[in-house]
Amino acid sequence: MSALDAALSKQYTSTPMRILVTGSTGGIGSAVKAAARAAGHEVATFERADFATPGAMDAIPGGLDALVFATGTCPVAPLSKTTPELFAETFRVNCALFLDLVRHIVKTRKYSAAGMTALAISSVSAREGWAGGAAYCASKGALSALCRALDAELATRHIHIEALEPRYVKTRMFDECAGRMGVDPSLAQAPEAFAREILAKACARGAAASLRLQEEAGLAGGAAD
């Protein structure tokens, strides 16, 4: 995070935001939810059952300042077991669900007047390969690329889309995947620490957006005087 982002984040962490968190039954999502609530932000969640329920997105509240997409699956499968079905399902969960959510939020204008920051938890696997990770690495590479494209497309609406690419975070997924692959658990970051980084980034972006809105309102007011 830049020094400006860090300063804005510190100043505005206490400014309440409305945040939608997905994957909040998981390690990273639950830590984000807890940190956000502890900081006084309003948190709505969207989980596995919601994604599987037609029309469930209609219940997502409006006025969103931030979306944290922490939904994800990490199959570890050699090429021979990377079936078309496994590949498609990994892409659906890790990438297409994020696209569906952003499309819904933009279409129904559920973002705040100042815009919105959407942070998708991608992975260092978007850029690095490992044996057994064909579906996962490909889906995370696609998610990171998707974020760059959406960020470019939605900039005029002040919607900022960014992929975060952590390496190891000590969660159920780490225990089931990286842990099983023999990665030293001491290399894994605590989910609470990563959640603070995520929240700080969302707050910094939210702060910059509200400052811009205030400036625009001031300019408009000035012009009318």
Ligand X SMILES: NC(=O)c1ccc[n+]([C@@H]2O[C@H](COP(=O)([O-])OP(=O)(O)OC[C@H]3O[C@@H](n4cnc5c(N)ncnc54)[C@H](OP(=O)(O)O)[C@@H]3O)[C@@H](O)[C@H]2O)c1
End-to-end CA distance of the chain: 39
Rank residues 154 and 195 by Cβ distance to ligand X and give the closer one: 195
Which of 20, 67, 93, 202: binder of ligand X (CB under 6 A)?
93
Q: How far is the CB of 181 from ligand X (least distance, A)?
A: 11
Residue closest to 177 by CA, chosen among 132, 124, 121, 122: 132
Tell whether residue 27 is a contact of ligand X (CB under 6 A). yes
Which residue stretch of 10-18, 25-33, 151-159, 216-224 sits at the interface with ligand X (rule: CB under 6 A)?
25-33
Which of 15, 48, 197, 213: binder of ligand X (CB under 6 A)?
48
Tell whether residue 139 is a contact of ligand X (CB under 6 A). no
Integer-rounded Cα Rg, in Å, for the chain is 18
Cα-based angle 57, 60, 65 (whole degrees, multiple of 5): 130
Q: Which of residues 50-79 bind ligand X (CB under 6 A)?
A: 51, 70-74
| Pure H helices in the chain | 3-12, 27-38, 48-51, 84-91, 97-107, 134-154, 172-176, 191-224
Tell whether residue 25 is a contact of ligand X (CB under 6 A). yes
Q: Return the SS3 of 34.
A: helix
Which of 101, 121, 147, 209: binder of ligand X (CB under 6 A)?
121
Tell whether residue 178 is a contact of ligand X (CB under 6 A). yes
Q: Which residues, at least 6 apart from 112, have a Cβ–Cβ distance to it below 8 Å?
A: 18, 63, 64, 65, 209
Tell whether residue 111 is a contact of ligand X (CB under 6 A). no
Q: How far is the CB of 74 from ligand X (least distance, A)?
A: 5
Residues in contact with ligand X by the rule CB under 6 A: 23, 25-29, 48, 51, 70-74, 93-94, 121, 123, 166, 168-169, 171-174, 178
